[in-house]
Structure 1
Amino acid sequence: MNFKSALIAAAAVVGVAGAAQAADLAKKAPAAANYVKVCDAYGAGFFYIPGSETCLKIGGYVRADVYAFSTSREWAGIGNSGATGRDKHAINTLAKAQLQFDARTATEMGLLRSYIEVNIANYSASNGNVLPELAKGFVQFGGLTAGRAQSFFDFWTGDTYGAWFEPAHSDANINLLGYTFAFGNGISASVSIEDPSTGNTGRRMSLVNTALAVNNTSYAGVKYPDFVANVAISQAWGSAQIMGALHQNYAAIAPTDKWGYAVGAGVKVNLPMLGASDTLTLQAVYAKGASSYVSPNWNTDGQFNGTVGANAFDFWVPTTAIEQSSAWSVAGALTHGWTKTLTSSFEASYAAHDAATTSVFDFNQLDIQANLVWSPVEGLAIGPEIEYRRLDYSGATNALGVADVNAIVGMVRVQRNF
């Protein structure tokens, strides 16, 4: 092939390639794939909802518990369950699932957040299914929190499972409207109005016992919310909080009402010299006319979810005036990481209830708990816990149909977090 022929052939190849390229340009380009993008602004697990600037995190857990109880008369014969308590279970099982949805959007006026936490469970203590429960559901915008959230009074709610005998501390999900003022350097102050009729633990503790003619401890309607405030600090060494609450005692039969109150303080200290995850926590609370801020599992019938509780109430009316009960508690916990996969917590609390003008309902309560948790892979926790409760009634216990109580619960939990 001479030079002229080669030049003509090369021109033909270029022409064919140009025509093919022009044909490709005439075709419509394929649509770009709409991939889910990672949102790292708020930590691990968040992703952008496609087509929006909102970051979403979906999480939760699946839990399986097995409980075994002491079966002494002191355990079984509580309240009106009878002298032998043969209707009470000696073992219980629980299967529980929780779903969490956390949606956050950065706006020109601050962070806009909505959070949902839903529980559904089946456990033998309730004899069947527990329908879906809205544990939490709130909106946050800047410092504002509105909806069902953790009470602004609460600081420390326990290091152990506290699955059956929850130690003495306030641990309430409740409908509220609150605001947090952030001052920098981890220092904040919060105020909140909270509906005492909506808590998952009774914020309006009353007692009906006609045999003792004290059925005049019942609450009337809610006239005022609880007013709650705290000042908190969170830094590298740990965290601390002081808190207070005002709670109205509005009796069904008394001509007047009184205001009860609760005050408390807590501190949690990191102990890196012992281990990376080690912490020590101490907390104390005093209340008058507001017993539930001291302990969440004191209630009206001597039992709580089938367990051993106590006869506590906020007030009673022996004549025509309200007499307020007082209560206090101290609690502490130590959590230690033995290895990267093995941790344990030890927790203890002591609480006392004083029913003012009568000793019939006075008692002391001691709780001691310890567990061992193995996490062989991320998100999985397996381990046993033992829980002990001592109730010491100092008054006329026979009139209440109860005696001093020593009860032990052993349990094993398997939980997958995601």
Structure 2
Amino acid sequence: MAEPIVSLMNPEFADDPVGAYARLREQAPLVRIGHPGGPPVWLITRCEDVKAALSDPRLVVDYSNVPGHQGLSVVDQMVEAFDLPDEFRDYGAANMMFQDGKDHSRLRRLVTPAFSVRRIKALRPRMEEISAQLLDALARKGSGDLIEEYSSPLTGTVICELIGIDEADQPQMRKWMNDYAGGDHATSARGMVEYTKKLIERRRAEPADDMISTLVQTSDEDGDRLSEAEMIALVLLLVNAGHHSTAHFIPNAVLTLFDSPEQLALLRARPDALPHAMDELMRVANPVPTATPRYATEDLEFAGVPICKGEALTGSFQSANYDPRVFREPERCDVERVMKRGESHLSFGAGPHYCIGAALARLEGEVALDHLLLRRDSLEITVSRDELTYTDVSLGLQLLSALPVRL
């Protein structure tokens, strides 16, 4: 008897996602979900199983690494779906998200110096300055959309400055970022690629204290360096994944704390507790509910379920982060929660593909919540919760369309 197929587009996943995923999690460790434009996918529902899948060498992110594979890779599917030029296959193939094993390890090794603790910590004063400027502008206006007028320009500007995009060019780059997120993939991607090519050329001639210059100059002990396509792929990954996820985490976290006024009061009484609280807020306010799909390289059994070679599995961060097997009273936001050794939320993933920008995202979120809620108590949400709307994307991804506020 075939497994029933669940659609994450069902209204229950929008109306009560925590409850809907809880029902799936208790139903089975793996459930079949419908995948727009493709065959059904196995959704992994429990925290420890998701963590195990993200480190299982039998599961790969590049479909072409499945022996005897037939069909298009993720990169080929993206190029066709978004009507991108053929050269974008090179940038997709060079993307760390879609690489496995030694190829992924090599890229990770060469990219890591650009995300050093020193470099991320050094961003804080400038991050604070950008945040203050945006909030001053919003306060003068009196009201507006927290995403469009604060969180998106904050994370977009920080990413631009980290990469090394010249100040005069940042408005255009942020426009490309937003256009890409809005569905104009071909034009905006071309613009970002052509700009990045010229930036790499300039930084080769005149290095600066920025990420592109670091990537241009970095080599390992064998003299291996990143290719131009690999550097472009990293920039595209940062501006289209790192920027948008944090831009939407910030309003989600604001909503979470407004829904838990006693937790907000605790942080206002003890603002030094905010760095510790970030893990709990990342657990409950993560805007990205699923991991990049993995493909079985052989027939195998996972969490007691037989999986056929070539079948896709994806871990549900939404379900894993609320798993009562790991988190006591998971539906309650507890900013003083202390997690046991080896236990953590999965909002940044786990295993070899753990988010390389995790420290940057944490710092951006910490600065934003400090400025929005702890240094001031005047922020108000000007619509009721049932008036908020979301942008639905495949596999249940939900991003707030807007968060109207008044300062």
Q: Work out whether the TM-score is over 0.5.
A: no
User: Which protein has the bigger strand share?
Assistant: 1
User: Which protein has the bigger helix share?
Assistant: 2
**TM, length-normalised to structure 1:** 0.23
Q: Greater RCO between the two (CA within 8 Å, min separation 6)? A: 2
**TM, length-normalised to structure 2:** 0.23
Greater gyration radius: 1
